[in-house]
Chain A
């Protein structure tokens, strides 16, 4: 049976842990709010850009040559680029392990083609580095405060490799922020680009040639898709960590309760034993 002192020590230690998990939960809650604000703030640009690409695409729909644009051409997917967006830090429940498992599944289901991983986030990088899977690049320290200007160069390299036919398709794999309680890994193809359908047709005056316009729009579209994925993943990360830390805090509370009851019982036992000793001692004297 553990001694009283041991139990007290144990309870104190669990209480310390609980304080830590509670603090982490609060921090995550604050960061989540900021991350959510950023996702929402980035939405108008994304929406307008999508509509713009749709409009310009529609205006050019008859242009045969357009469909030979390097970023629109579909070819057999022999070399696939997978961009894996994880978190830099753990303690976020199944956030990272779900992603890495999904990535493994992606590799398994595309085994007939060559898949190269580009890791954004330390957890994904470490996971595949440990398994000796070659990475085309790794970016650590981005998540959390990624600005558009940080993400754009990464997208540009993906675009370049695609345009020069070093890769035949580019997929993003990241956690989508569904709600506070649910984050879902999603796979999204960003290259080749699928031009969104524009429902309303409109005749525009073009200051530049529409082709020229589309050529500069398309890379931006890819950059924004990546930026959006990074923002979503950041929000999802904080939500996951918040949930995980909330659960940990509750568990610690339950453990403390159990240990306290146990400790009381131990103390009661020792008091009872001492009493019995006193009573039997007194009885023996009679």
Chain B
């Protein structure tokens, strides 16, 4: 039984993570999946949310949105359109984006794209969650 599984997280601009992890939680477009070493091969679309993984005794979090997940028994590859590790997240900006999106949804003007506003809101929530800020309601 393998102890760890190789996790690779890449965006078009750079490779973010490439290290063995004990487990990883991934937001797919159909909900979160948990992956442990020797998982069955799987392909899925990446959703919007927080990807978290355990290495050593640490849990690290990355806000991701859009892309793909490929799981093989020995490795997990995540191709994300956007990925921000918790340390790089600008909480102020995410809060502002969240407020803007909520405002837009609360008072929908004709001509705005509801789906886009919802996605913007979810991205902002994911960033806040990854940064360790619980989303207050």
Contacts and interface: CB of A to CB of B under 8 A. Distances in A.
Contact of B42 (A48, A56, A207, A227): A207
Interface in A44-100: 44-45, 48-49, 52, 55-56
A56 B44 CA distance: 11
A38 B13 contact: yes
A275 B41 CA distance: 96
Given A45-B79, A52-B68, A217-B68, A205 B40 contact: yes
Nearest to B11: A45
A147 B13 contact: yes
Contacts of B79: 45, 48-49, 52
Contact of B43 (A42, A205, A224): A205
**Main secondary structure on B side of the interface with A:** strand
B41 A44 contact: no
A207 B35 CA distance: 14
Nearest to A217: B68
Contacts of B18: 44
A204 B10 contact: no
B15 A44 contact: yes
Interface string B64-102: 000010101000010100000000000000000000000
B44 A44 contact: no
Interface in A171-192: none
A216 interface: yes
A213 B45 contact: yes
A38 B14 CA distance: 8
Given A52-B68, A202-B72, A217-B68, A42 B12 contact: yes
A148 B41 contact: no
Interface in A212-258: 213, 216-217, 224, 227
Interface string B21-56: 000000011100000000011111100000000000
Given A45-B79, A208-B29, A203 B12 contact: no
Nearest to A43: B15
A110 B12 CA distance: 33
A44 B8 contact: yes
Nearest to A37: B14
Q: Residue among B11, B14, B40 with the most chain A CB within 10 A?
A: B14
B43 A55 contact: yes
B101 to A, nearest CB: 19
Nearest to A227: B12
A206 B30 CA distance: 11
Contacts of A44: 8, 10, 15, 18
A45 B12 contact: yes
B12 A207 contact: no
Contacts of A208: 29-30, 44-45
Given A44-B8, A49-B79, A207-B28, A56 B43 contact: yes
A23 to B, nearest CB: 29
Contacts of A41: 13-15
6 nearest interchain CB pairs? A207-B44, A148-B12, A44-B15, A45-B10, A41-B14, A205-B42
